[in-house]
Amino acid sequence: MRFATLSLAVVATFACAAGAAVKPEAAINYRQSAYNLIGWNFGPLAQMMRGKAPWDAAEFSRRADRVAFLAPQLLEGFPEGSDKGADTEAKPDIWKHMDDFKVKMDDFVKQSKLLADVAKGGDEAKMKEQFKQTAAACKACHDKYRNEE
């Protein structure tokens, strides 16, 4: 089959939830990629917030949608045993306090969804307020569970 070559490479690289157990390094690589994409899209919102980029409600909404779509995908990047295996800023406390970590992750999912929803309305003041709530949700988790050096 024509897809055989490609899919073999894909499967070899990404052992995934649907099949074999996830390798720690694959999970770490995955979650870092997801955070990277979130940062890529959250960055321009922060720039608008600070007046470093022109206010653009449509662009804000487009990127907020992406953050909201990615947020619920983070948690599967933290399977048991992925506290080590590659360079990671994730603190071992995540797996010791997984219930609390999930609460914080759920809050980020909720706040980013609200941000995407509010942005569809185009009300600048509301968007700015909800941006702060979303950034606070990021920070609450990073402060406790990320080694930021």
**Contact residues for a copy of itself, defined by CB under 8 A:** 1-3, 5-11, 13-19, 26, 29-30, 32-34, 36-37, 39-44, 46-50, 52-53, 56, 59, 63, 66, 69, 73, 131-132, 135-136, 138-139, 142, 148
The whole-angstrom separation of Cα 76 and Cα 47 is 29
Which is nearer to a copy of itself, 96 or 129 (by Cβ)? 129
From residue 100, alpha-carbon distances to 20, 21, 94, 95 in Å are 27, 24, 8, 10
Which is nearer to a copy of itself, 8 or 96 (by Cβ)? 8
Which is nearer to a copy of itself, 23 or 99 (by Cβ)? 23
The whole-angstrom separation of Cα 134 and Cα 113 is 9
